[in-house]
Structure 1
Amino acid sequence: MDSLGYREEQPDRADIDTMPGATLLVFGTNWCGYCRAAHRPLETALAEYPQMRVVKVEDGPGRCLGRSFRVKLWPTLVFLRDGVEVTRLVRPHKAEPITTALRELASRPSS
């Protein structure tokens, strides 16, 4: 089974909250079937936004960052502008809603 790129090491919430510009946080695990199913649509959508900062974080019990964002299902995509949540998607299975959210995020000016 190949890795989807979810990292065990997690940034601190304070670091996420101070990230400038657009950021996409993706919570999931490398072994999750829903995460595996969402991988191709996510990659397809991100192909239009190569400059997008993407942070893929392995989530699970005892993982503080996911809890701070109230993640309950995987994958959860949290779209941030200057550390503030703009929108989120839970278990997307098509590229279109991801692309729409990325377009909205990219069109918002930084504070």
Structure 2
Amino acid sequence: MPKCSFLLSQVSVLFFLSTHKPRRKRKVNEIQKMGSFMSSAYATPEESGSESNVIAVHSKDRFDEQFQAHKNSNKALVIDFTATWCGPCRMIGPIFNSLSTKFSQAIFVKVDVDELPEVSREWQVQAMPTFVIVKDGKEVTRIVGAKKDELERKIQMFSS
């Protein structure tokens, strides 16, 4: 079973430091100034719109159909391996949807790893979310985790 790649380290540290001993307030402020690793993963209001060009596949045949369609085009294929129980997946979902409208020159596909375990195994997905970018039928890059900035940068790099 793939593992969810959700880290609570800074959130936990902030909670602990803010609820224990007032003299640690300086440390809380220092951590808050550094920014949170989660800050780039949250969707901004304009990113959480409902418009999307993401194709949700619910069968191996449908996935194979989308993959073949991609191979016959010169577009990049961006695959989001996700799970309904995965917090970071739900967090970055609206961002993935907005990227699908921003980068119309790429094909965006969403695969639920619990619904299509054979596709997940075929692509060697071990953590969620995992984003795989495919160009000309070959994997060109992989992003593991809800890394919004890296995902957007790589999509831009391979979709042009």
TM-score in same-fold range (> 0.5): yes
Q: RCO higher in 1 or 2 (8 Å CA, sep ≥ 6)?
A: 1
Q: Structure 2 vs 1, CA of residues 56 and 32 (structure 1 numbering), >3 Å: closer, same or farther?
A: same
Q: How does 1:54-65 map to 2 (within 5 A)?
A: 54-60=108-114, 63-65=117-119
Give the drift of 1:62: 6.8
Q: Structure 2 vs 1, CA of residues 7 and 30 (structure 1 numbering), >3 Å: closer, same or farther?
A: farther
Give the drift of 1:44: 4.0
Residue 157 of structure 2: which of 92, 104, 107 is its match?
104
Residue 133 of structure 2: which of 55, 79, 97 is its match?
79
Larger displacement relative to structure 2 (49-58 or 17-26):
17-26
Task: Please tell me whether the aligned partners of residues 100 and 108 of structure 2 are also in contact (alpha carbons under 8 angstroms).
Answer: no
- For 1:38 and 1:32, locate their aligned partners in 2 and report how far apart those are by CA, in whole Å: 10
Name structure 1 gaps, 5 residues minimum.
none
Give the drift of 1:31: 3.4
Give SS of 2:128's match.
coil
Kindly tell me the number of residue pairs found equivalent between the two proteins: 102
Task: Please tell me whether the aligned partners of residues 38 and 92 of structure 1 are also in contact (alpha carbons under 8 angstroms).
Answer: yes
Corresponding residue for 1:52?
106
Give the drift of 1:6: 4.7
Give SS of 1:92's match.
coil
More helix by percentage: 2
Corresponding residue for 2:82?
28
TM-score scaled by structure 1? Answer: 0.73
Task: Please tell me whether the aligned partners of residues 59 and 116 of structure 2 are also in contact (alpha carbons under 8 angstroms).
Answer: no
4+ residue stretches of structure 1 with deviation over 6 A?
Answer: none
TM-score scaled by structure 2? Answer: 0.54
Give the drift of 1:51: 3.2
- For 1:28 and 1:62, locate their aligned partners in 2 and report how far apart those are by CA, in whole Å: 10
Q: Structure 2 vs 1, CA of residues 102 and 77 (structure 1 numbering), >3 Å: closer, same or farther?
A: same
Name structure 2 gaps, 5 residues minimum.
1-53
Amino acid of the structure 1 residue aligned with 2:131: L
| Structure whose CA Rg is larger | 2
- For 2:106 and 2:100, locate their aligned partners in 1 and report how far apart those are by CA, in whole Å: 8
- For 1:62 and 1:44, locate their aligned partners in 2 and report how far apart those are by CA, in whole Å: 24
Please give the root-mean-square deviation of Cα atoms over the aligned residues, in Å: 2.7
Corresponding residue for 2:39?
none
Corresponding residue for 2:22?
none
Give SS of 1:57's match.
strand
Provide the identity percentage: 25
Larger displacement relative to structure 2 (25-34 or 36-45):
36-45
